[in-house]
Amino acid sequence: MRSRNLAIVFAGLCGYAERLGAQTWEESQRMLRLHEALVDPVLRKFKGRRIKQIAGTFLVAFESPTQAVLCAAALQHRAQRMELDVRIGIHLGEVRLARGDVFGEPVNIAARIEALCGPGEVLFGESVWLSMNRAEVHADDAGERRLKGVPEPVRVFRLLSALKPLPDLGPLPSPDRPEVRGELRRHLFDAAQVAIRKAENVLGRSVTGDTMAGQAPRDGVPGAVRVFVGAGLAAMLAVAAFFALARLGALP
């Protein structure tokens, strides 16, 4: 079993359990996809490794404590723009890695710190504060806290703001969008819809023009239509390959 010094983040979406209990299975799956589309672009930008998701809480590991706190600030801001609240707890320490999971006291402490957070709040342990680049965030000392299962009190800090502009992470996901998982899949879906509309317009003009001229539709397919048909087939193959690789876990 390997061990590494990592910043561990627990990010919980407030009210997830309550909303989940009042939803059908299809609605809960749609909400899950929405949350993934909200969170995943932030994790990729700050090089976070999502270990697992438990209901509405994401467990994420970072090489850099600074990146972990900046990711928390970006996720907090992104959630607020969708009128959602997150609770985020962060701790730094040596963890054990096995079978794609992480274990150890830092994981337990990060989970306990996340449980201390109020809606929209980010708290992190003193080990994070001492190890990170403190010129990049504004935080205040929230004092020592007694955490369940932790023998010594842990001093925690409250994130107030990032001191540098946060990166642009693209448009927010739409609650009304069909269930297309992840940002790349969303772009593929949008591109496919545009291609379909263009093909329909070209086909419609071709058939309408022949009919108005008193001719039957031509046996030969117009060049523009051939281009769209070929592009459509290529796009279908690319999308099929992408989903096959994603299902096999071959994509990041």
**pLDDT tens for each residue of 75-132:** 999 999 888 899 999 999 999 999 999 999 999 999 999 999 999 999 999 999 999 9
Give the strand pairing for 2-13 and 57-62. Answer: antiparallel
pLDDT band at 19 (very low <50, low <70, confident <90, very high): low
Q: Is 133 left (phi over 0), alpha (psi -120 to 50) or beta?
A: beta
Q: Please name the residues in contact with 45: beta carbons below 8 A apart, sequence gap of 6 or more.
A: 71, 74, 167, 169
User: Is the CB of residue 98 less than 8 Å from the CB of residue 82?
Assistant: no
Task: Judge if pTM exceeds 0.85.
Answer: no
Q: Is the dihedral of CA 90, 59, 4, 73 positive or negative?
A: negative
Q: Give the 3-state secondary structure of residue 123.
A: strand
Average the pLDDT over each of 44-53, 165-174, 218-227 and give the range with the smallest value: 218-227
Which token pair is 53? 């998701």
Q: Are 57 and 6 in contact (CB under 8 A)?
A: no
**Alpha helices (H) in 46-179, listed in sequence order:** 65-81, 105-116, 126-131
Between CA 165 and CA 175, with CA 69 as vertex, the angle to 5 degrees is: 75
Q: What percent of the chain has pLDDT over 90?
A: 50
Dist. CA 198–CA 84, nearest whole Å: 37
Place of tokens 């306990």: 112
138-172: buried (b, 16+ CB within 10 Å) or exposed (e) per residue?
Answer: ebeebeeeebeeeeeebebbbbeebeeebeebeee
Distance CA 73, CA 132 (A): 14
pLDDT at 91: 98
- pLDDT confidence tier of residue 136, bands split at 50, 70 and 90: very high
Tens of pLDDT, residue by residue over 49-80, are: 999 988 779 999 999 999 999 999 999 999 99
What does the pLDDT read at residue 29?
A: 74
Query: Which CATH number applies to 2-162?
Result: 3.30.70.1230
Q: What is the mean pLDDT of residues 144-154?
A: 94
* One-letter amino acid for residue 108 of the chain: N
What does the domain layout of the chain look like in residue ranges?
2-162, 183-247
Residue 75, pLDDT score? 95
Q: What is the pLDDT of residue 6?
A: 98
User: What's the rounded mean pLDDT across residues 154-172?
Assistant: 93
